[in-house]
């Protein structure tokens, strides 16, 4: 497999492999040993969905050294995590809705890990076997609410606050990827996964020691320096090398 997406045609929801812009429908379980049609699926009337429907989204804080320095925060000694509501996911092309326009709401570009097999307490060296692939994401945050509460779930779990996708890339090295965010064509975040305090495999190991991860679950691996506010009309693009860009508008 390479790039895998989740699509809808009328009432039919299906996974497909993307090759040169064409869709080859998956047969079987995407988390098992799937096969693919040899003939492309007609794209007319096909809608791109979020690439998975996670049972949970685990977010990681202060996981980029440049972001910790930006906030004048010490490097964490172990991953800082919280849960985001699965109902906060938003597909590529969808609109981020700001529920409190009077609040400051920020973009946060992130690399997302998509779990491929049920996992509990796996060592970091074995973590790749439990990962289906990687996709682009945002961890949109209401800073006003976040600043007033000790728990961050509410500030980050509004509907549309987790743009995700468009596809899962199964053939990339997560430790050698650039991570960028463009706001209305202007580069705002520009870093590299080498800046991660804990790499993707260490995160899968740590999180799976706290809770069982199921196929389709998502780990947001943290955001680099350069986070900033959004407003209605913005066009936000997450560019991660080796992945298809994630593009969303703000309303």
Whole-number Å distance between alpha carbons of 92 and 95: 9
Taking domain 57-250, whether its CATH number is 3.90.850.10 is answered by yes
Most confidently modeled range among 4-8, 32-36, 64-68: 4-8
Could you tell me where the DSSP H helices lie in the chain?
65-70, 143-148, 153-156, 200-210
Whole-number Å distance between alpha carbons of 72 and 35: 49
Whole-number Å distance between alpha carbons of 188 and 71: 16
What residue ranges of the chain are covered by domains with CATH 2.30.30?
Answer: 3-48
Q: Which CATH architecture is the domain 3-48 placed in?
A: Roll (2.30)
What's the pLDDT band for 16 if we cut at 50, 70, 90?
Answer: very high
Q: Strands 141-142 and 105-107, how do they pair?
A: antiparallel
Q: Strands 3-9 and 162-169, how do they pair?
A: antiparallel
Task: Find the range with the poorest average confidence among 67-71, 73-77, 120-124, 187-191.
Answer: 67-71
> Is residue 169 packed enough to be buried (19+ CB in 10 Å), middle (13-18) or exposed (0-12)?
buried
- pLDDT confidence of residue 69: 86
What residue ranges of the chain are covered by domains with CATH 3.90.850.10?
Answer: 57-250
Is the confidence at residue 70, as pLDDT, over 90? Answer: no
Tens digit of pLDDT for each residue in 190-214?
Answer: 999 999 999 999 999 999 999 999 9
Tens digit of pLDDT for each residue in 95-136?
Answer: 999 999 999 999 999 999 999 999 999 999 999 999 999 999
Average pLDDT over residues 139-166: 96
What per-residue string of b and e applies to 19-56 under the rule 16 or more CB within 10 Å gives b? eeeebbbbeeebbeeeebeeebbeeeebebbbbbebeb
- pLDDT confidence of residue 167: 98
Average pLDDT over residues 220-245: 97
- pLDDT confidence of residue 1: 58
Average per-residue pLDDT for the chain? 96
Give percent of the chain with pLDDT exceeding 90: 93
- pLDDT confidence of residue 133: 98
């Amino acid at each position: 497999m390479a790039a895998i997406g989740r699509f809808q045609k009328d009432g039919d929801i299906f996974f497909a492999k993307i090759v040169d812009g064409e869709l080859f429908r998956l047969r079987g379980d995407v988390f098992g040993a799937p096969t693919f049609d040899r003939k492309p699926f007609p794209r007319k009337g096909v809608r791109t969905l979020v690439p998975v429907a996670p049972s949970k989204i685990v977010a990681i804080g202060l996981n980029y050294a440049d972001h910790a320095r930006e906030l004048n925060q010490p490097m964490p000694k172990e991953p800082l995590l919280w849960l985001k509501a699965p109902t906060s996911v938003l597909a590529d092309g969808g609109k981020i809705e700001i529920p409190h326009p009077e609040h400051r709401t920020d973009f946060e570009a992130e690399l997302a890990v998509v779990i491929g097999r049920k996992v509990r307490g796996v060592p970091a060296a074995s973590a790749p076997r439990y990962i289906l692939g990687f996709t682009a994401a945002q961890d949109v945050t209401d800073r006003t609410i976040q600043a007033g509460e000790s728990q961050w779930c509410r500030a980050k779990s509004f509907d549309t606050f987790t743009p995700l996708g468009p596809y899962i890339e199964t053939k990339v090295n997560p430790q050698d990827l650039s991570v960028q965010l463009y706001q209305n064509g202007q580069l705002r975040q520009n870093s590299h996964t080498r800046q991660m305090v804990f790499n993707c495999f260490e995160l899968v190991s740590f999180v799976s020691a706290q809770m069982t991860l199921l196929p389709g679950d998502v780990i947001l691996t943290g955001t680099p320096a350069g986070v900033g506010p959004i407003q209605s009309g913005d066009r936000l693009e997450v560019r991660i090398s080796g992945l298809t860009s994630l593009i969303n508008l703000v309303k």
